[in-house]
Structure 1
Amino acid sequence: MPSQRDVGRVVMDVAFFAASQVALYYALRYVLSSLSETQPSKKKEKGESLLSQSGLTKEQLAALDLDEYESTIAGEIIPPASIDTTFESIGGLDDIISSLRETVIYPLTYPELFAAGGSLLAAPRGVLLYGHPGCGKTMLAKALAKESGATFINLPLSSLTSKWFGESNKLVAGLFSLARKLQPSIIFIDEIDSLFRERSQADHEVTGMLKAEFMTLWDGLTSGTDRILVLGATNRPNDIDPAILRRMPKRFAIRLPNLEQRVKILNLMLSHTKLAPGFSIDELARRADGLSGSDLKETCRNAAMVPVREFMREQGGSGLEAAKRDGFKIRPLELSDFAVHDSHAYAHVDPTKKAPVPAFVESLD
């Protein structure tokens, strides 16, 4: 039978163990609360910094009175001053640019001009840019933000996800409330098919709630005073949920550039490059049939490296130091430089036909 001393020892051990567990609980609670207080403050500072770069004063920032979720979304704002892409720097998409000016930019920036037509002339709630990869969809989005002067919210999927149940819905609500406070606003979602893929029974509950919350708040943009545009870009439009497509009545197909468009693109890309006498951009554009704008850029980059590579091999290490003092004299770019890199430019296409293998079929014309 245990003695009184043994019983007392057991009681003391239990008391010390309980006390240590209570101390550990409060210590962990303190650490977690400190982290939760520090993280929002950092996000708030980042958001306020970006908003100040957009031209808002401290008084205007204070008047916005952003909550925790709005501050988190504010960290995804791209100030128009930091965007160096304009419509003039995009070649071969003149018709689409003209339509974007008339149907998006002017209704967003000059709502009074379209007030006579009521809701019929208001800016669309959603615009979809779709087509072959590398044809300028993201460049168009940047130029649209630059030209319109609107608040440009670049929305990555990670900014709407959270490990806490229900937080994603609050972040979506914060997104639209922030866009309403800073209107005119453009919410840009690149690769929108990854976020708004067609719903199915296999979807996680949180994903379904996020989509439903987003569409509900999106439908709330029916007031004539709201100047908020959701802009999406994708090369897989058939994967997008039909309910999302319904909310994007303006759809622009960005196709592979034709000969005339390739000439304009190459003129822009080679405008600051020294070309050899008799260099024919028209001939280069003809040979580049089937390439996207991104492919043309990489082709020009590879070709521009040929004269530089030749110069480095001719001069060697010591010769480069001497040439640096006298100034580097690189020969002009020749049409043959592009032929050298045909294998690189067409690495992803059929080498026998020198034409891209079709990977995307447009069905939203």
Structure 2
Amino acid sequence: MAMTFSARRFRPRRGGPRSAAGPLLAAGLAALVLGISGCAGGSDSPVPAGPSESERVSAGPSRREAPGDTAGPPGQAAWVSLQGQVVWSGPMPAIADCMAIRTTGAGGVALQAVPHPNRLQREPVHGGVAEAFVWLEPLSPRRDGETTPAASRQEEGAAPEPGAAAHWPPLHVRLHNQALFIEQGKRSGRLGIAAAGAEITITGEGEGFYALAGRGAAFFRWAVPAGCSPLVRRLPPLRREVGPSRAVDDAVPADSPASPWPIIELFDDARRYWTRAYILVCDHPYAAVTDAQGRFQWPAVPAGEWELIVWHPSWTVRRQERDPESTLVVRQFFTAPHVRRRTLKLSPIPAAAPPVPLVIELSAPASR
């Protein structure tokens, strides 16, 4: 450790004799400097002193103590809690069942009514819509050095969070004769969320042959023999770059290559037209599938300008294909999905004022 002193000459008082203590005092200071320099091990790098107790106390509250404070350390954004509900207040649409084709023991075929895969699942009391995609797209650019919620949690001492794929539990697609389901975490239904290029597990149940196909944001077709070991496949790259845009065409069907949304429509292409499921490809944690009451929630969203997107598959058939011999329907194609978009400007609010839940009406005409 090196210490620097400023030299100061000792001058005698005017008109008086020069004091003999001056040379002795200067020699003592020189010896002290040499002795201290020797204890520092010869290093010339200054060692910063730690903050005093008063400096540590007056450093200001941490993010954990004041989550709504916008004047935090540089590079750390303010987080906002966001929650809402997707509702259908209009009259319930008439949605007919699909007539599934099943084989009989004698080698013939029979028709069996199964629920429409894209039916509207509406909670009867408050009109909440279950199984709709809700996600956010940033409209304002992220500031330089701004941390993500995962990085913020790491700074607070939480366990580190890996890449984008860690936001979503693994997807397991199950096929059987009557339906196609996506299992993810504790939920099972027609919707799932995955990161780009994520691996999915596919299982064919019962007897027969399945062909899991995808269209819309990505295209693929994978053969799935029934009763075999589960298959593991990786989602292919999206056909086009997607993101927030005020000029996107909401009237494009979900199965079209021109679909503006990062959503893959799944179906069993082994002539089981009544099977449907959907995967939202999302590389950030601000996406959700509405619960049985139509609710969604994100506990920590960075403040700024976002676009909220609500997406529900259509149940209206725009065209279908039939087998030329049996005249039975083998493929169906639906009209454009029900999409609602809303621009949000999120800013921190005091902890004493809880956020007001959003309500997105799905039955009303689309408006910005």
TM-score by length of structure 1 reads 0.23
- Larger helix fraction of residues: 1
- Larger strand fraction of residues: 2
Choose between structure 1 and 2 for higher RCO, CA contacts under 8 A separated by at least 6 residues: 2
TM-score by length of structure 2 reads 0.22
